[in-house]
Amino acid sequence: MRVVSPDMARVAGMHHDMEAQALQAVKEHAQAEKDSLELPFHRNPREKYAVFRALLQHEGLPPHEKAYNRISHEAVTLMAAGGETTASTLMMAVYFILADKKNVLSRLRQEVESLMANKASRPSIADLECLPWLTAVIKETLRISTLTARLTRVAPEETLQYKDWVMPAGTPISMTLREISLDPEIFPSPMEFRPERWLPSNPNLEQCNRYLVAFSRGSRMCIGINLAHAELYIVLAALFRYKEFELFDTARERDVDFTRDFFVGETSASAKGVRIRGVMGGAYVNWGEVIHVNYHIARLEVFQVSFL
């Protein structure tokens, strides 16, 4: 598979790794119960197999939901949902910030500098969330990078009515959140990157916030919203506070805009990814090669460039 399809080989490898870890977690859990040992507190995120332990110790789950090949799927979902989506959003944010350095980047850097006076500064996430321009940039990026997939919901016991349509109980209903995010009646010129939509000076700010559905809404909305926000605030603040970058050989139509649906949106097949290079003292930094900010690299290792 590595020869025929290297990308699929990595996906299969991730599934194999998660199954191996899940199997080991099940064995350790069973042995601990047999020996009447006190199990580690499953809510400690630093605990090895923390996710698996949380599932295995959940009294409300039936035994068949605790099989290793079942809980391993939960781990794969967490890995994919928490990696690909955030990486895609960061890719877009980097592009839009650097595509308009005069208006977007300069204001962003000035704002972040107010909290990060030197390299030793470590502002809290709560402090970063109070920066209005950084928040506006993140919200506008989330709006444009909203999922392309349809999300299905079912009211199992309730008949629903919308205008003249009646939907019997158990009817799957789905919609594309991206159609809301790009609705010109809600967000004028929806394909334009306008962070000012999210500033208090916008008289329609309440409507914008109401229709920001990047994480969906309701009881089934994304449970990773707080983690995703934390990653976006920290990475963007750290990346653009001390380093100078510029776009290199990057075209929005080819490398940024979504043209295909793979649950998360994907750029064209000919895309090279968002590419940037560092600038220091007016000259290009010789890093050996152009840095690729490409969401196909789900590990987000590329954002280590902020420390180079």
CB-CB neighbours of 61 under 10 Å? 13
Helix (H) or strand (E) holding 209: helix 205-210
Q: Are 225 and 215 in contact (CB under 8 A)?
A: yes
Please report the pLDDT score of residue 35 as a whole number: 78
Higher pLDDT, 265 or 293: 265
pLDDT digits (tens, 9 = 90+) for 106-148: 999 999 999 988 878 889 999 999 999 999 999 999 999 988 8
CB neighbour list of residue 92: distance below 8 Å, 6 or more residues apart: 141, 144, 145, 256, 274
Length of the chain: 308
Helix (H) and strand (E) counts in the chain: 10, 10
Q: Which of 56, 112, 70 is nearest to 243 (CA)?
A: 112
Find the angle CA(111)-CA(308)-CA(117) to the nearest 5 degrees: 30
Q: Where does residue 224 rank: exposed (0-12), middle (13-18), buried (19+ CB within 10 A)?
A: middle
pLDDT digits (tens, 9 = 90+) for 59-84: 899 999 999 999 999 888 888 778 88
Evaluate if pTM is beyond 0.85. no
